[in-house]
Structure 1
C-alpha cells in the first residue's frame, strides 16, 4: 500500500450505459501512458432503490423475498460490470482495482474521490439535453461541481 501512496490515484466511474464503457475505453486508449503507472480504480454504484416503499405505496408491502432477490440481482449485475471493466483494462496491460458502493451515484462518487484521494476522476456523458438533465439530474454535472479533484467528462461523438 505504501507504493500506492506514491502513485497517482485515477478513478473511472462506470455504470451499465454505453457512454461509461466508451469513457473507460477512451481513457485506456488516450491516457494509457499517463495512467500506466497510476493506481486505477474502476468504481460503480448500485442504486439504493427503496423497493419496500414502492410496493407499500402501490400494493401494501413488498415480500422480503422480492426485496432480497432484487438486491442480489443488482449486486450480480454490478460485479459482472466490474469484471468486464477489469478485463478491458487487463487487455491494455493496466491493472485496475474494482470497487462498488450502494447509494446515490453522484454522492458516492464524490465520497470515493475524498476517501481514496483521487487525483483524476473520469466519467462518461449521457448526452442528455437541458430538459432531461433538469428532471433526471446529471451525475457528471454534479461531480464536476462537487468532486475535489479534476474531472474529465468523456462525451461520445456520434
Structure 2
C-alpha cells in the first residue's frame, strides 16, 4: 500500500502571504495526514486478514507509482479514482489514467459511486 505526497516545492516558493515556516508546517501536516491515512488502511486490511506493507513516498504520483511497480513487481495495481469532472481532467489529468496506460502490470481502478460521500479517515 502506498500514498504519494506530491512534491510541490514549497521550499522555493516566495509569498507575501506565508512565511517559509508556514510552508514547513504545511509539509509536516501533509506528512502526518499521509501516515495517518496509511495506518488507517493497514489496520483495516489486518482486521480482515489481509497482510500488507505501507510506504509513504514523495514526488509526482504518476512517476512514483510506476517506478514502484517496476521495483515491487506486483501481480496487479489497484488505484482509486476521485472522479474529477471533465474540465479538471483535461487540464490536470488523472493518476489512475496515467497508471492504466503506463504501469507494467494490470491496473484495477476503483471509482466511487456518484452518490457516495467518502468518510475521510484522516479526520477521524
Q: 1:89 corresponds to which residue?
A: 45
Q: CA RMSD in A?
A: 1.9
Task: Kindly state the Cα deviation for residue 70 of structure 1 after the two structures are TM-superposed.
Answer: 2.1
Alpha-carbon distance between aligned partners in 1 of 2:108 and 2:42, rounded to the nearest angstrom = 20
1:74-115 deviations in Å (ceiling 9; x for gaps):
111111010000111011111110111101111111111011
Pick 1 or 2: higher relative contact order, CA cutoff 8 A, min separation 6: 1
**Which structure is higher in strand share?**
1
Structure 2 residues without counterparts, runs of 5 or longer: 115-124
- Match for 2:16 among 31, 41, 59? 59
Task: Kindly state the Cα deviation for residue 53 of structure 1 after the two structures are TM-superposed.
Answer: 3.5
- Match for 1:138 among 94, 97, 110? 94
Task: Kindly state the Cα deviation for residue 62 of structure 1 after the two structures are TM-superposed.
Answer: 4.1
Alpha-carbon distance between aligned partners in 2 of 1:61 and 1:84, rounded to the nearest angstrom = 31
Q: How high is the TM-score relative to the length of structure 2?
A: 0.82
Work out which of the two has the higher radius of gyration on C-alpha atoms and give 1 or 2. Answer: 1
Q: Alignment length, in residue pairs? A: 114
Kept after mapping to 2: 8 A contact 1:105/1:139:
yes
